[in-house]
Amino acid sequence: MTIILKNATFIHWKTLEFTQTSIKVESGLNGGITFLPVDLSAIDISKDEVIDCSGKLVTKSFAVGHHHVYSALARGMPVPAKQPENFLEILEYVWWNLDKALDKDMIEASALATAMACAKAGSTFVIDHHASPNAIRDSLEIIANAFERVGVSHLLCYEISDRDGLEKAQLGLQETEEYLSVNQGLVGLHASFTVGDETLKKALNLMERTNSGIHIHVAEDLADQDHCQQLYHKRVVERLHQFGVLNSPKTILAHCLHLSENERSLIRNSPAWIVENAESNLNNNVGHFRGTNLGKNIMLGTDGMHSDMLRSAQAAFFAGQEVDQINVPEAYRRFRNVHHYLAHNHFSGDGDNNLVVLDYDSPTPVTPDNFTGHFVFGLSSNHIRHVISNGSWLVNNKRLTNVDEKAILTYTTEQALRMWKKL
């Protein structure tokens, strides 16, 4: 059954042009949308599902540029025995303790929880960066299946790293190669400071053989730069550049906080993409993102903090007031850049038939000229009424359509308690 959104105010995500129209939404990965008259009386709609969208805004749904499924069960977990005092201690006492505890059921629960939260916050596509050092094999397939159960499209990778020894790095490479042989995805690396030259070389070789890109944390904290200078006598982006990481337009560099002018220029003159994660930077107290001289390829992520991209865009705007040259239209541009990244690289699952229907009662006029102002200061995920993913229902009247939300939350709670006991 084809969905028709009747009498909607359609906002084109690129031009911000407003069109009063009914919208026919074709289903499938290659489906599109067609504008129909507002008055459908002359059209045969007997086989279609017609949803009245009078007074509602309809626009392209959202996508997450950098997420971490593995952190989904962390909310409310016991605090670490020792309070972390810097970024490396946060990794060591919190995240590397947590990801080592994950087993297959916990990964599945984490992925279901993440996909559900993304869907309800309007995202139909997620780029994820996963780690589970004691359950590497099949971890990406488990995540993919969970996302597909909920109805969210994905671009996954496993976070390959030497931090637990070369054997684990090899398992990460194997998991990546097997997954990429049948799925779209990326070659994940944790960060320069946990990846030695041998593993980096192997990952680049895999990237080239599979015509993929690298997804890696870059200069999130100064410690990454200090480590690189001490061990390799060069800076992080210079090292990655020499290995060829920046050569692919599919490559994603997460964070990019502590960069020299030369590193900025290397990134700007490459086809690689950057993901800004403002709230995560604030939370870890690692500094602020600055887009100056980095070029146009900047998108936004949540870094596993939550799954709400509207919130991420608003945080990028507010956190960027002090050091970043960001204004309201630039926050919107970064928020939407992920669609350019996905389309340019021919990844499937982010076509025109991915839509959100917003129930946005504004006390002031909403126009093409001031829409980005509403985007930063007014819109929130509370306004998301329906979400359509690849032309099919994902969220209908604020309810997930493909899964039993309550049953899954019971399951994720059980898995969270199991995991917390292991910490």
Q: Which is nearer to Zn ion, 91 or 228 (CB)?
A: 91
Q: Which is nearer to Zn ion, 220 or 387 (CB)?
A: 220
Give residue number: closest CB to Zn ion: 303
The length of the chain, given as a count of residues = 423
Closest contact distance (angstroms) between CB of 254 and Zn ion is 5
List residues bridging with 49 in a β-sheet: 3
DSSP string of 167-233, one letter each residue: HHHHHHHHHHHHHHTTS-B-EEEEEGGG--HHHHHHHHHHHHHTT--EEEEESSSHHHHHHHHHHHS
Q: Which is nearer to Zn ion, 162 or 303 (CB)?
A: 303
Rounded-to-integer distance, Cα 407 and Cα 109, Å: 11
Rounded-to-integer distance, Cα 286 and Cα 354, Å: 35
Closest contact distance (angstroms) between CB of 393 and Zn ion is 30
Closest contact distance (angstroms) between CB of 114 and Zn ion is 13
Closest contact distance (angstroms) between CB of 366 and Zn ion is 34
Closest contact distance (angstroms) between CB of 217 and Zn ion is 5
Closest contact distance (angstroms) between CB of 64 and Zn ion is 11
The residues of the shown chain that bind Zn ion, judged by CB under 5 A, are 303
Rounded-to-integer distance, Cα 224 and Cα 221, Å: 6
Q: Which is nearer to Zn ion, 8 or 275 (CB)?
A: 275
Strands 153-155 and 123-128: parallel
Closest contact distance (angstroms) between CB of 66 and Zn ion is 6
Q: Which is nearer to Zn ion, 108 or 303 (CB)?
A: 303
Strands 62-67 and 33-36: unpaired
Q: Which is nearer to Zn ion, 87 or 411 (CB)?
A: 87
List the Cα angle 402/405/410 in 5-degree steps: 140
Q: Token pair for residue 164?
A: 């637990």
Q: Please give the distance of CA 244 from its chain centroid, rounded to a whole number.
A: 24
Integer angstrom CA distances of residue 157 from 9, 172, 207, 355, 397: 37, 9, 12, 25, 32
Q: Which is nearer to Zn ion, 101 or 216 (CB)?
A: 216
Q: Which is nearer to Zn ion, 71 or 184 (CB)?
A: 71
Rounded-to-integer distance, Cα 110 and Cα 298, Å: 27
Q: Token pair for residue 79?
A: 């605090």
Residues 6+ apart with CB under 8 A from 39: none
Cα-trace Rg, the chain? 21
Which residue is listed with tokens 């980005």? 372
